[in-house]
Chain A
Amino acid sequence: MQNPTKTRVKLLMNEMTSSQHTSGAMRQQQDVQPEPTSAPVLRAEARNLDFWYGATHILKSVSMAVVDCKVTAIIGPSGCGKSTLLRCFNRMHDLYPGNRYSGEIQLYPEDRNLIEMDPGMVRLRIGMVFQKPNPFSKSIFENVAAGLRVRGVADKRILYERVEQALSGAALWDEVKDRLHDSAYGLSGGQQQRLCIARALAPQPDILLLDEPTSALDPIATAKIEDLLTVLRNTVTVIIVTHNMQQAARISDFTAYMHLGKLVEYGVTEKVFTTPQSPMTNDYITGRFG
């Protein structure tokens, strides 16, 4: 019997390549052979993932592939389990009692189930940015350096290099380069959130998890973060949870729609938003529900 998850991933890949074909075909209609496109590389993949908090069954057999260097958005109404799913990827639930996982989240390329790994090890590889900016009570520099220091980087020169790199990557360098050693709390909310992104990016994580990173920010700060995510696109593997559908449509390559703990729909963002397969997704994205 064929693994249903495998099929799902294959379908997803086909969808992705075919959508690229379409645009290719538009440009070069006379071509007999379509351009060969490289198959997407997977970074991680949830397979039949179930999750409980105490007696509450929150995630129900979720299977989802995370494509390398692409932005995957998880959308859905409040309480659908989208944040819970995200927090499975870095085992954040393990900080609280009563968590129970079943199923697996494979990490690629070594094909290991992160549910069975040490949570600390998982978190050394998968970074996260939270809903509310949460910089440490330290200087801007030390905030970004924190993730490097825990990974054993002690050389001042390397630290400075990587901190500058991360802050530039988070489009914050120009604003803070003259006050790297001031407290992070002197920054505005939007700057703090970009600092948190820099902090998560500095150790070059395999996957960056973003849990509604703009929900506590004003529209201008939100726009800056979205610009930043667009820049990061194609260089970092991102999973973003958002309650903002326009945001998902704007910045993601793939979109997953969740409802009541189940993954209802998952595919290339354009398709999910233009021709959703499930009526539930359609209702949600057209604003009829949620």
Chain B
Amino acid sequence: MSSIPSSVVDADSECLIGGASEAFLRRRAFWNRVAAWLLFAAAAASVLVTIGIVYVLIRDSIPFFEQVPLSEFLTDTQWTPVFKNAHFGVMTLVSATLTVAGIALAVAIPAGLGLAIFLSEYANPKLREAVKPFLELLEGVPTVVYGFFALLFLTPMLQTVIPGLSGFNLLAPGLVMGIMILPYTASVSEDAMRSVPMGLREAGYALGFSRFRVAAQVVIPAALSGITAAFILGMSRAVGETMVVAIAAGQNPNFGFNPLEGAATITAYIVQMAMGDLPHGSIAYQSVFAAGLVLFLITLLFNLIGFYLRRRFREVY
């Protein structure tokens, strides 16, 4: 710095030209640390919130399980927390939840996979760009609208075909939920399929494969991890979805997998209880937390399956 006259650069100013001053380096290190801490805080916040939610779920479930043995909770086939003779068979809610999610997947897997194959392997870029906004629109429909659609449009329509269908049933919300998660599963699967390198497709074509065979035998196996992840996450969403089932599936806790009858799912039960005036600390109040914990565990299980499958079918190319 000595070569620069002090009239041009005063002692406190810093510049990088010709070597940085001590003060500059210190300040830079300080702000680097601040940035690192802020980013760490952002990352930590999400982890802490998750841990906090799990903590509350478990803490408030403990008094419930002190009164209801786990064996009864898992094997009883009645769920009547507010009755005088209360039963707490959570499988009642789980069966309805899985039935709806199963129907949703039965719609979303074939339709989503078909749509993804079409967009990724058949459609030209123009058509693809024209279809995608519609998918996004479908994704943007509020779930309450889907719920009313299931209750007031789809159920009456299905009743003309299936006479035994109740006004509240699991079939209509399941089908609607399938349509609801379709855009998500389709677009995630399509991304996975499009990221399969062209060289792999060329290998298929070079063997004399047709376009469909390339899609089915080359692209899907290579994109399987992404496709599985898409459907597992779709399943998670279907299990956790509340509005559609609360509106269209009814609130009767019925054990069984009959899609023609109405039944309360875990989420529908929680909504029902949360809207009623339950005395704080009552067993029915605590059952909400136990149900929430079960819901959390089911979702966690699906995510773990998704994680395992993703690792097992990891794309290597």
- Which residues of A approach B to under 8 Å, CB–CB? 90, 92, 95, 120-121, 123-124, 127-128, 130, 132, 134-138, 146-147, 150-151, 185, 196, 199-200, 203
Contact B210 A136 (CB under 8 A): no
Known: A136-B218, A137-B316, A150-B213. A200 touches B204 (CB 8 A): no
Partner of A134, one of B203, B221, B224: B203
In the assembled complex, the CB of B133 is this many whole angstroms from the nearest CB of chain A, namely: 24
Q: Give the total of B residues in contact with A, Cβ under 8 Å.
A: 23
**Lowest 3 A-B CB distances belong to which pairs?**
A124-B208, A128-B206, A185-B316
Decide: A136 and B221 in contact? CB cutoff 8 A. yes
For residue A211, give the distance in angstroms from its CB to the closest CB of chain B.
10
Expressed in whole angstroms, the Cα–Cα distance for A81 and B317 within the complex equals 27
B252 CB, min distance to chain A CBs, angstroms: 46
Which one of A134, A135, A138, A151 contacts B208 once the chains associate, using CB atoms below 8 Å? Answer: A151
* Complex contact B206–A200 (CB within 8 A): yes
How far is B213's CA from A95's CA once the two chains are assembled, in angstroms? Answer: 14
Q: Are A137 and B224 in contact (CB under 8 A)?
A: yes
A146 near B217 with CB under 8 A, answer: yes
**B246 interface residue per 8 A CB criterion:** no
Asked if A130 and B202 make an inter-chain contact with CB atoms under 8 angstroms apart, the answer reads yes
Task: Contacts A130-B199, A137-B224 given; indicate if A147 touches B205 (C-beta within 8 A).
Answer: no
Contact, CB under 8 Å: A196 / B203: yes
A127 and B203 CA atoms in complex are apart in Å by 9
Determine whether B4 belongs to the interface, using a CB cutoff of 8 Å to chain A: no
A151: chain B residues within 8 A (beta carbon): 208
Contacts of B60 in A (CB 8 A): none
Interface pair A130/B203, CB less than 8 Å apart: yes
CA distance A137 to B201 in the complex (A): 11
Any A CB within 8 A of the CB of B86: no
Q: How far is the CB of A200 from chain B (nearest CB, A)?
A: 7
In the complex where A134-B199, A137-B315, A137-B316 touch, is A92 in contact with B217 (Cβ < 8 A)? no
A123 touches B207 (CB 8 A): yes
21 A-B pairs within 8 Å (CB atoms) are namely A92-B202, A95-B202, A123-B207, A128-B202, A130-B203, A134-B317, A136-B200, A136-B203, A136-B217, A136-B218, A136-B221, A136-B222, A137-B218, A137-B221, A137-B224, A137-B315, A146-B204, A146-B209, A151-B208, A196-B203, A203-B208
A151 to B222: give the CA distance in the assembly, Å. Answer: 22
Using A130-B199, A150-B213 as known contacts, say yes or no to A123 and B221 having CB atoms under 8 A apart: no
Q: Are B208 and A132 in contact (CB under 8 A)?
A: no
Q: In the complex, what distance in Å separates the CA atom of A92 from the CA atom of B200?
A: 13
Task: Select the residue from B201, B210, B217, B224 with max chain A CB neighbours within 10 A.
Answer: B217
Looking at the assembled complex, report how far the CB atom of A229 sits from the nearest CB atom of chain B, in whole angstroms: 18
Q: How far is the CB of A251 from chain B (nearest CB, A)?
A: 21
Shortest Cβ distance from residue B307 to the other chain A in the assembled complex, whole angstroms: 19
Q: Which residue of A lies closest to B201 (CB)?
A: A95
- B 272-291 contacts with A by CB, 8 A: none
Q: Which residue of B lies closest to A95 (CB)?
A: B205
A136 and B204 contacting across the interface, CB-CB below 8 Å: yes
Complex Cα–Cα for A132 and B202 (A): 11
Most buried by B among A128, A132, A138, A146: A146
Name which residue of chain B comes closest to A199, CB basis. Answer: B207
Interface centre among B203, B313, B315, B316 (most CB of A within 10 A): B203
The distance in angstroms between the C-alpha atoms of A150 and B207, with both chains bound, is 8
Give Cα A203 to B207, complex, Å: 9
Q: In whole angstroms, what is the CA distance A252 to B204 when docked?
A: 27
B202 with A123: CB separation less than 8 A: no
Contact A127 to B206, CB < 8 A, known contacts A137-B316, A185-B316 = yes
- Shortest distance in angstroms between B241's beta carbon and chain A's nearest beta carbon? 32
Given known contacts A136-B204, A199-B203, what 11 new A-B pairs fall within 8 Å (CB)? Answer: A120-B208, A120-B209, A130-B202, A132-B199, A134-B197, A134-B199, A135-B203, A137-B218, A137-B222, A146-B209, A200-B207
